[in-house]
C-alpha cells in the first residue's frame, strides 16, 4: 500500500498558486497511516504547514456543538422533541414568511414551536444569508456577531422564518441558536460547555473559540482567490487570543487535524475514545441516522442534489446508498458520515472500512452569483482548486483497495 499518490492534486493546486497549503490525515484500524504537510500556512512568512497547524474549522464546529447537546439530553436536561422556547423565549412569537421570496411583513403564524430536533437538523425555518432568496437574505446579511449572544438572538427573532418548523431543511444559524440554548440551560458560556463535555474528555487541547499566544504562531492564514486568479492574504484577521463576545456554536471553533481526528474517532467508535466514554451509543446512533423524509430530500441543498444517496442525521450527512453517493460525492461505504467547513476543511468517517480522513485548508469562498457562474462555466483555476479534495479522497480509497 502506497498512499503518496493522493498528494498529487493538492500539489498541483499549490504549484498553480491557487492554494497556500494543506494538512491531510488518513487513519484506519487504530493507526495513523499518513499525514501530509503540504505548502505553507503563511506563504509570505515562509512558514510551512505542519501537523499541528491550527485552522478555522467553520461548520465543522456544528457536530461538536450537537455532541455537547446530546450529552445534556442524556442527563435529562431536555429532549429532542422539546420546544426551545422554554430557554429561548425570544422565539415564541416568531412568524413565518407567507411567500419565501415575498416581503418580510407578509407572514403567517407558526403551526408549531421550534424544537431541539429542528435546530439540530436545520429544519427550524431559520436561515443563512446565502441559503435563502431576497429579501430575507438581505436581512440575514445585516446580522452582526460582534454583539453578545442575547442581543444577536433578539435580532434573529425579529426576522420571519423561511418556512414552517419541520417542513424542510434550510441550512442556517440553527446551531448558533442551539449553542445559546445550551449556554442558558447549563448556566455557563458555550466555550465552557464544549470544553467540559467534549473537548476536555477527548483531549482536544488545541480546539476552542480562541487560541493561545503560542497557538497563534501555528495558525493557518486565510487566503482567497481574487478576480485575477491569484491568492490574497488580507481577507481575515488573526486568531483571537481571548474569547469573542459571542462564541458561535455553528462556526466558531479553531482546531487541528489530530484534535478533530479524536472527535471523529469517538463518533466512529460509538461514543468512546481510548476507554473514555463521551456519548452513549444511542446518542451517536441518533447523530449518525438519517432523519430526512423522502419529500425533504427532493429539495436541493445550496443548489446541489446533495441528498442523492445521502441523508442527514443530527448535523452529520450520512451515506444511505453508497453507489449513488459515490457518483456525485466520492467514495464512502454505507453509513459514512461527515460535515465540512466553509473554508475548505473537510473530513469523513467510514464505518465500513474503519477509516477516518481529514483535509484541511484555509480558503475563503466567494458566495456571489458571479463566482457561481464562473464555476458553472468551467473556470479552470477554480475547478483545479475544487478538484483537489475529491481527488485526494478517491486516490486514498484506491490505494487502500476499498
Domains and CATH numbers, the chain: 4-61+189-399 (3.40.710.10), 72-186 (1.20.58)
pLDDT band at 367 (very low <50, low <70, confident <90, very high): low
**pLDDT the model gives residue 96:** 98
The SS3 call for residue 96 is strand
What mean pLDDT do residues 5-23 have? 96
| Residue 49: closest CA among 286, 360, 324 | 360
pLDDT band at 375 (very low <50, low <70, confident <90, very high): very low
The continuous run of DSSP H or E covering 383 comes out as: helix 380-399
Cell of 260: 478533530
What mean pLDDT do residues 346-351 have? 98
pLDDT band at 369 (very low <50, low <70, confident <90, very high): very low
Asked whether the predicted pLDDT for residue 351 surpasses 50, the reply is yes
CA–CA dist 163, 372 (Å, integer): 25
- Least confident piece of the model among 81-95, 173-187, 227-241, 331-345: 227-241
What mean pLDDT do residues 201-211 have? 98
| Residue 51: closest CA among 15, 11, 22, 28 | 22
Q: What are 27-86's pLDDT values in tens digits?
A: 999 999 999 999 999 999 999 999 999 999 999 999 999 999 999 999 999 999 999 999
What is the length of the chain? Answer: 402
**pLDDT the model gives residue 105:** 96
Contact criterion met (CB below 8 Å) for 266 and 337: no
Q: What are 130-154's pLDDT values in tens digits?
A: 999 999 999 999 998 888 999 999 9
Contact criterion met (CB below 8 Å) for 136 and 169: no
Q: What are 225-263's pLDDT values in tens digits?
A: 988 888 999 999 999 999 999 999 999 999 999 999 999
Match 415575498 to its residue by C-alpha cell: 102
Asked whether the predicted pLDDT for residue 379 surpasses 70, the reply is no
CA–CA dist 385, 222 (Å, integer): 15
Asked whether the predicted pLDDT for residue 119 surpasses 80, the reply is yes
**What is the separation of C-alpha 157 from the centre of its chain, rounded to a whole number of angstroms?**
23
CA–CA dist 281, 264 (Å, integer): 14
**pLDDT the model gives residue 146:** 81
What value, to the nearest 5°, has the Cα angle with vertex 110 and ends 108 and 114? 145
pLDDT band at 1 (very low <50, low <70, confident <90, very high): confident
| Residue 267: closest CA among 257, 252, 277 | 277
**What is the separation of C-alpha 335 from the centre of its chain, rounded to a whole number of angstroms?**
18
**pLDDT the model gives residue 27:** 98
What average pLDDT is seen over the chain? 94
pLDDT band at 353 (very low <50, low <70, confident <90, very high): very high
The SS3 call for residue 247 is coil
**pLDDT the model gives residue 169:** 98
First and final C-alpha spacing in the chain: 12
Asked whether the predicted pLDDT for residue 373 surpasses 70, the reply is no
What value, to the nearest 5°, has the Cα angle with vertex 27 and ends 402 and 280? 105
CA–CA dist 182, 194 (Å, integer): 9
- Whether the CA torsion 200, 202, 206, 210 is positive or negative: it is negative
Contact criterion met (CB below 8 Å) for 315 and 251: no
pLDDT band at 381 (very low <50, low <70, confident <90, very high): low
Cβ neighbours of 308 (radius 10 Å) = 14
Beta strand pairing status for 107-108 and 96-97? antiparallel
**pLDDT the model gives residue 230:** 85
**pLDDT the model gives residue 376:** 42
Asked whether the predicted pLDDT for residue 366 surpasses 90, the reply is no
Contact criterion met (CB below 8 Å) for 378 and 94: no
**pLDDT the model gives residue 198:** 98
pTM recorded for the entire structure: 0.96
The continuous run of DSSP H or E covering 318 comes out as: strand 317-319
Q: What are 258-315's pLDDT values in tens digits?
A: 999 999 999 999 999 999 999 999 999 999 999 999 999 999 998 889 999 999 999 9
CA–CA dist 70, 280 (Å, integer): 9
Q: Percent helix, strand and coil across the chain, each rounded to 5?
A: 35, 15, 50
Q: How many CA atoms lie within 13 A of 330 on its CB side?
A: 20
**pLDDT the model gives residue 374:** 44
Amino acid at each position: 500500500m502506497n498512499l503518496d499518490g493522493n498528494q498529487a492534486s493538492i500539489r498541483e493546486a499549490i504549484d498553480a498558486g491557487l492554494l497556500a497549503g494543506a494538512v491531510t490525515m488518513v487513519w484506519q484500524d487504530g493507526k495513523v497511516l499518513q499525514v501530509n504537510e503540504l505548502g505553507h500556512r503563511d506563504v509570505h512568512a515562509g512558514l510551512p504547514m505542519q501537523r499541528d497547524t491550527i485552522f478555522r474549522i467553520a461548520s465543522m464546529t456544528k457536530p461538536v456543538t450537537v455532541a455537547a447537546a446530546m450529552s445534556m439530553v442524556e442527563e435529562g436536561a431536555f429532549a429532542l422533541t422539546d420546544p426551545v422556547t422554554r430557554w429561548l423565549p425570544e422565539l415564541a412569537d416568531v412568524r413565518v414568511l407567507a411567500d419565501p421570496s415575498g416581503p418580510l411583513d407578509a407572514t403567517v403564524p407558526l403551526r408549531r414551536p421550534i424544537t431541539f430536533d429542528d435546530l439540530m437538523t436545520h429544519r427550524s425555518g431559520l436561515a443563512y444569508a446565502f441559503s435563502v432568496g431576497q429579501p430575507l437574505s438581505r436581512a440575514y446579511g445585516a446580522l452582526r456577531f460582534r454583539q453578545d449572544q442575547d442581543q444577536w438572538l433578539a435580532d434573529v427573532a425579529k426576522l420571519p422564518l423561511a418556512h414552517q418548523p419541520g417542513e424542510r431543511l434550510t441550512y442556517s444559524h440553527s446551531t448558533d441558536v442551539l449553542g445559546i440554548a445550551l449556554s442558558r440551560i447549563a448556566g455557563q458560556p458555550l466555550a465552557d460547555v464544549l470544553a467540559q463535555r467534549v473537548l476536555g474528555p477527548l483531549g482536544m487541547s488545541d480546539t476552542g473559540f480562541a487560541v493561545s499566544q503560542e497557538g497563534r504562531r501555528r495558525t493557518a492564514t486565510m487566503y482567497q482567490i481574487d478576480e485575477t486568479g491569484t491568492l490574497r492574504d488580507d481577507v481575515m484577521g488573526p486568531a483571537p487570543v481571548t474569547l469573542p463576545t459571542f462564541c458561535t456554536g455553528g462556526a466558531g471553533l479553531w482546531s487541528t487535524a489530530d484534535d478533530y481526528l479524536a472527535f471523529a474517532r469517538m463518533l466512529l467508535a460509538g461514543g468512546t475514545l481510548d476507554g473514555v466514554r463521551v456519548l452513549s451509543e444511542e446518542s451517536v446512533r441518533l447523530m449518525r441516522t438519517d432523519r430526512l423524509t423522502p419529500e425533504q430530500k427532493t429539495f436541493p441543498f445550496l443548489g446541489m442534489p446533495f441528498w442523492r444517496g445521502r441523508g442527514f442525521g443530527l448535523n452529520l450527512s450520512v451515506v444511505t446508498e453508497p453507489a449513488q453517493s459515490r457518483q456525485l460525492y466520492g467514495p464512502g461505504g454505507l453509513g459514512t458520515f461527515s460535515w465540512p467547513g466553509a473554508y475548505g476543511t473537510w473530513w469523513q468517517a467510514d464505518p465500513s472500512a474503519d477509516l477516518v480522513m481529514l483535509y484541511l485548508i484555509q480558503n475563503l469562498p466567494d458566495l456571489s452569483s458571479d463566482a457561481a457562474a464562473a464555476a458553472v462555466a468551467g473556470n479552470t483555476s477554480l475547478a483545479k482548486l475544487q478538484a483537489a479534495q475529491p481527488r485526494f479522497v478517491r486516490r486514498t480509497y484506491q490505494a487502500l483497495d476499498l
